[in-house]
Amino acid sequence: MPLTTDLPQRVSRIVGATPVLDIHTHLYDPAFGSLLLWGIDDLLVYHYLVSESFRQMDVPYDRFWAASKTEQADFVWDALFVRHSPVSEACRGVLTILHSLGLSPRQKDLKALRKWFGEQRPADYVERVLSAANVSGIGMTNSPFDDEERPFWERNTPRDPRFFAALRIDPLLVAWKQTVPQLRGWGYDVTAELTQRTADEVRRFLSDWTRRIGARYCMVSLPPHFAYPADTETAWLIEHAVLPHCRDHGQPFALMMGVKRAVNPALRMAGDGVGRSDLTALQSLCAAHPQNRFLVTCLARENQHELVVLARKFRNLHPFGCWWFTNTPQLVAEITTMRLELLGTSFTPQHSDARVLDQLGYKWSHSRTILANCLAEKYAAIEAAGWPITDADIQHDATELLSGAFTRFCNG
């Protein structure tokens, strides 16, 4: 059979037309009202852009944080789009969004952009964004410890089934002593001392919240120094409460590894950094708990190869996403190619981590382009080795990568 010449076009068409399940975002169901962010000002004050803009302006940190959202957006716009070319990935994202809406950022007219967004009806706009990004489901990040979010769950707000919940438990695992009084205040009989009773009560807390929000998995982000096994509160709570809880509910435990929180506190949410994790901890978790499933993403580029090799050894490990500082075109291409070459299609190449609804547009169009290029290259290589690729093959693989492999992994 002759080799196909239009492979890149076919792959790009099929990957573009395949709906994606976005397994980790910070978006909220529209029923949560103002918690769902959208529009030009929220796009501009995204923490990725805030940290970049401080490199290009002299505004003191306090002056910036004291400003209104509109004024902060003005600072970012001026620093990154008016006075310099917007070449960074986060800046390009804003351009992709505006361009796809038929708006022209090149006019440098922020007032006109604000006027356009101000005229959109929120309900219609949500549909427009989801359909343009071809997103079939959105994983939220739901923290019982978040005072703004908790009341919505306690009120039993009617839900949009496309937005599914994930139980986020960072304070429980990384700040145990501070979390104890909060859990006690909610009626869970825990003590700072780690006892069997405390483990049982943490499990009851996890179970109550999993049921209340209908969580699909339980998630934590961990610092580079996370160790397991270890004589730490984090390791003890994972072993005695979180993993038994996940087994009871048949759910994966998602670990986001390698974030250094508040490297520069003056930058607030934009002040987090990255560090290389010791993946021996993950190896030990996967080996010691074959009945648990682990969804894992690593923030450090240096951890990517080791993560993929571990996934070859442990089928209870599912790598996902190119997280945050690795969500740049060059690194996404490198990581995705490495995963395809070592894992085939048994992983989830990307999640958007969107915090503002409109970002789904750029994050998915940029990621789909790279995924299609990486796949097309692999297909060309196997065609050269005598394995012609049909559209049905491509469709099957695209569905696996964009939703199927994750869904199967979650369902056990």
CA angle 171, 174, 175 (to 5 degrees): 65
363 binds ligand FIX (CB under 6 A): no
221 binds, among Zn ion, ligand FIX, none (CB under 5 to 8 A by kind): ligand FIX
**Smaller CB separation from Zn ion, 11 or 256:** 256
3-state secondary structure 21-69: EECCCCCCCHHHHHHCECCHHHHHCCHHHHHHHHCCCCCCHHHHHHCCH
φ, ψ for residue 2, nearest 5 deg: -70, 150
CB of 42 to ligand FIX, least distance (A): 13
CB of 256 to ligand FIX, least distance (A): 5
Give the list of residues 6+ apart from residue 229 with CB closer than 8 angstroms, or none. 235, 239, 284, 288
Instruction: Give the three-class secondary structure for 5.
Output: coil
CB of 123 to ligand FIX, least distance (A): 25
CB of 168 to Zn ion, least distance (A): 9
Whether residue 163 contacts residue 138, with contact meaning beta carbons closer than 8 Å, is answered with yes
Residue 354: which of 17, 95, 171, 90 has the closest Cα? 90
353 binds ligand FIX (CB under 6 A): yes
Tell me, what DSSP letter sits at residue 269?
G
**Smaller CB separation from ligand FIX, 169 or 235:** 169
Residues 14-33 as x/- pattern, contact with ligand FIX by CB under 6 A:
------------x-------
52 binds ligand FIX (CB under 6 A): no
256 binds ligand FIX (CB under 6 A): yes
**Smaller CB separation from Zn ion, 272 or 353:** 353
**Smaller CB separation from ligand FIX, 8 or 171:** 171
Whether residue 48 contacts residue 367, with contact meaning beta carbons closer than 8 Å, is answered with no
Residue among 353, 358, 397, 400 that touches Zn ion (CB under 5 A): 353
Region from 353-361, 363-371, 381-389, 398-406 binding Zn ion, contact rule CB under 5 A: 353-361
286 binds ligand FIX (CB under 6 A): no
Instruction: Give all strands of the β-sheet with 317-319 in edge-to-edge order.
Output: 20-22, 135-139, 163-168, 215-222, 253-257, 294-298, 317-319
Sign of the alpha-carbon dihedral angle for 110, 112, 118, 124 = negative
Closest CB to Zn ion: residue number: 353
CB of 213 to ligand FIX, least distance (A): 16
Helix, strand, coil abundance in the chain, percent, nearest 5: 55, 10, 30
Strands 259-260 and 215-222: unpaired
**Smaller CB separation from ligand FIX, 27 or 317:** 27
324 binds ligand FIX (CB under 6 A): yes
Q: Report DSSP letters for 290-341, one per residue.
A: TTS-EEEEESSGGGHHHHHHHHHH-TTEEEB---GGG-SHHHHHHHHHHHHH
Strands (E), 204-271: 215-222, 253-257, 259-260
Residues 139-178 as x/- pattern, contact with ligand FIX by CB under 6 A:
--x-------------------------------------
Region from 171-179, 280-288, 326-334, 348-356 binding Zn ion, contact rule CB under 5 A: 348-356
272: left (phi over 0), alpha (psi -120 to 50) or beta: beta
CA–CA dist 141, 149 (Å, integer): 10
**Smaller CB separation from Zn ion, 41 or 353:** 353
**Smaller CB separation from ligand FIX, 314 or 324:** 324
396 binds, among Zn ion, ligand FIX, none (CB under 5 to 8 A by kind): none
Residue among 18, 142, 198, 221 that touches ligand FIX (CB under 6 A): 221
Whether residue 347 contacts residue 339, with contact meaning beta carbons closer than 8 Å, is answered with yes
CB of 31 to Zn ion, least distance (A): 21
CA–CA dist 54, 266 (Å, integer): 11
358 binds ligand FIX (CB under 6 A): no
CA–CA dist 385, 375 (Å, integer): 15
Region from 308-316, 326-334, 350-358, 395-403 binding Zn ion, contact rule CB under 5 A: 350-358
324 binds, among ligand FIX, Zn ion, none (CB under 5 to 8 A by kind): ligand FIX
Contact residues toward Zn ion (CB under 5 A) are: 353
Contact residues toward ligand FIX (CB under 6 A) are: 26, 47, 141, 221, 256, 269, 324, 353, 355
